[in-house]
Amino acid sequence: MQTMRAMLFEGPGQPLRLAELPIPQPGLGQMLLKVHACGVCHTDLHIVDGELSEPKLPLVLGHQIVGTVVQAGPGSKRFRTGERVGVPWLGATDGTCRYCGRGQENLCDHPTFTGYNVDGGFAEYTVADERFCFPLPAAYTDVEAAPLLCAGLIGYRAYRMAGENAETLGIYGFGAAAHIIAQVAKHQGKKVYAFTRPGDTAAQEFALRQGADWAGDSTQAPPENLDAALIFAPVGPLVVTALKVTNKGGVVVCGGIHMSDIPAFPYKSLWEERVIRSVANLTRRDSEEFLALAPQVPVKTDVTAFPLEQTGEALEQLRSGQFVGAAVITIISL
């Protein structure tokens, strides 16, 4: 039996462990992929911390996978051997529920999420459903492309929820998703105001380098009120903070899968048709649109790379905000 190196998650409170696992076999409609790079995401932290409480166990995390096709499983013929593909968080849907039927496959009743219900990409190999894989723009290296697959895709879905008419956009939490979306927003002529943890001048300078018109502490007011706010930090009180500086008819979009509680606030803050909404997962349409748009902007990803065995360290650095931009695990097969 051939084996591979993988970082294994065995339960909340336990550190990821480097393990030798059997190389998985592609099932019906699946492909075996050799993984080259896999981005690290806040969702991984929510799984490790037990806030997302129903992972497959033991589990290989990682849902921003860049790999090449090694072997097609039965019935799989969409991609050629050796072709480079991306695998996102939405690993599969049932295709039959009412949400899938009306173009909301991101809300599928029976979804499969990569690196949560099935093994993901912090490993030398993985298998993926070919229908949910994407060709990646050639302009990006493997490491540069990885953050496009969740930070980019779900960031883009959140950005679309801001509406085309939004001229002033606030972004709360300036990490992987924000640095990508700020570039898209500037490309589309919007004013971008970036908010970070109080005193995080490194992130504020980073936001300005990505084209933000202003950057400050989340406790500060922006230079003008916002037509829309995107909240990428998992901090519920930011919803209320953002709502207070949002214009009439504006929207506050929560981009994360988990957030601390939102405190009570006066109805007056919501009055005048302000909206609070969340963004869940992604659709294949989001992927196609965003992966076509990214090289046109062109979006440049700022990446800190870690080797596979330092995946746990990368997660801890993400938690404490020790790098700007995105973290990506690079997998070099021995």
Q: Which residues here bind Zn ion, judged by CB under 5 A?
A: 41, 43, 93-94, 97, 100, 108, 150
Q: Residue 316 in contact with residue 48, Cβ under 8 Å?
A: no
Question: In angstroms, what is the minimal distance from the CB of 105 to Zn ion?
Answer: 6
Which lies closer to Zn ion via its Cβ, residue 115 or residue 250? 115
Q: Rounded CA gap, 286 and 282, in Å?
A: 6
Which lies closer to Zn ion via its Cβ, residue 204 or residue 301? 301
Which lies closer to Zn ion via its Cβ, residue 35 or residue 226? 35
Which lies closer to Zn ion via its Cβ, residue 43 or residue 246? 43
Which lies closer to Zn ion via its Cβ, residue 136 or residue 226? 136
Which lies closer to Zn ion via its Cβ, residue 146 or residue 243? 146
Beta strands (DSSP E) in the chain are 3-8, 17-22, 30-39, 65-72, 84-87, 90-92, 112-113, 125-129, 134-135, 168-172, 191-196, 214-217, 226-231, 246-254, 275-278, 303-307, 326-330
Residue 325 burial (CB count, 10 A): 21
If DSSP codes are grouped into helix, strand and coil, which group holds residue 6? Answer: strand
User: What would you report as the CA-atom Rg of the chain, rounded to the nearest whole angstrom?
Assistant: 19
If DSSP codes are grouped into helix, strand and coil, which group holds residue 230? Answer: strand
Which lies closer to Zn ion via its Cβ, residue 42 or residue 84? 42
Look up residue 194 and give its amino acid. Answer: A
Q: Rounded CA gap, 299 and 180, in Å?
A: 6
Which lies closer to Zn ion via its Cβ, residue 44 or residue 200? 44
Question: In angstroms, what is the minimal distance from the CB of 108 to Zn ion?
Answer: 3
Exposed/middle/buried for 178, CB within 10 Å: 0-12, 13-18, 19+? buried
Cα angle: 86, vertex 178, 168; to 5 degrees: 130
Question: In angstroms, what is the minimal distance from the CB of 221 to Zn ion?
Answer: 30
Look up residue 170 and give its amino acid. Answer: G
Question: In angstroms, what is the minimal distance from the CB of 210 to Zn ion?
Answer: 19
Closest CA to 55 of 22, 96, 16, 83: 16
**What are the beta bridge partners of residue 46?**
none
Exposed/middle/buried for 250, CB within 10 Å: 0-12, 13-18, 19+? buried
If DSSP codes are grouped into helix, strand and coil, which group holds residue 246? Answer: strand
Question: In angstroms, what is the minimal distance from the CB of 280 to Zn ion?
Answer: 12
Question: In angstroms, what is the minimal distance from the CB of 111 to Zn ion?
Answer: 7
Question: In angstroms, what is the minimal distance from the CB of 151 to Zn ion?
Answer: 7
Q: Rounded CA gap, 35 and 228, in Å?
A: 37
Question: In angstroms, what is the minimal distance from the CB of 96 to Zn ion?
Answer: 6
Question: In angstroms, what is the minimal distance from the CB of 196 to Zn ion?
Answer: 20
Which lies closer to Zn ion via its Cβ, residue 103 or residue 263? 103
